[in-house]
Structure 1
């Protein structure tokens, strides 16, 4: 049997989660859509804070935990190293959905399965406010 022509696009396989398949193709063996990586376990959401490693991203989740003694809340964060398939094109600042897989290396046991877009940027001490839509100005003659 002859090999498939290079111009033919491969369909993304169903990974068992309710996520959109990427439009681009890749030949990464650790891609859950185009490779042989199976997804099982936890599904989490977080923000990409670093993509300095090859095909690996640092995804951070922040959560508030209550401190009963002081009757206050403290902000905690958890960082996950997740495989980043090239077909998703994830960049720093994007919110992503990651899913648990078998261990891919010593510290990587998650894979990015969906890019949810850019996260709202926050200025320290202030919340990000969406700009108001410009109203049409009536000119008087």
Structure 2
């Protein structure tokens, strides 16, 4: 497949990153909407990248780490072809309710865990999934 021509690529926010006009949100690949097969999910990601999709979006809370594992396996060997985005901030609480955590020490811990699950040294776009009302944003970032 041919790469997306430069004139069709978009600047991602205020960054220097340039992405194809369509990305792949990977949330549904961890069974959020029903059963998902890891091998099929990995094949889908690779097929999308082969067709020029280069912005992959995941989060540590999608399948509580499972989604980042799937994405990491899928991009092994093709990391240079993708702009990888993941998120932090949502956490599991006792009783099954989700909570938020924006404390700097949690952000570092979450980032390290995401890097490991994704099998990468760098996350291109790392952002907060939900704002923690207990932690000033200036402390989070």
Give the TM-score, by structure 2 length: 0.26
Give the TM-score, by structure 1 length: 0.26
Which of the pair has more CA radius of gyration?
Answer: 1
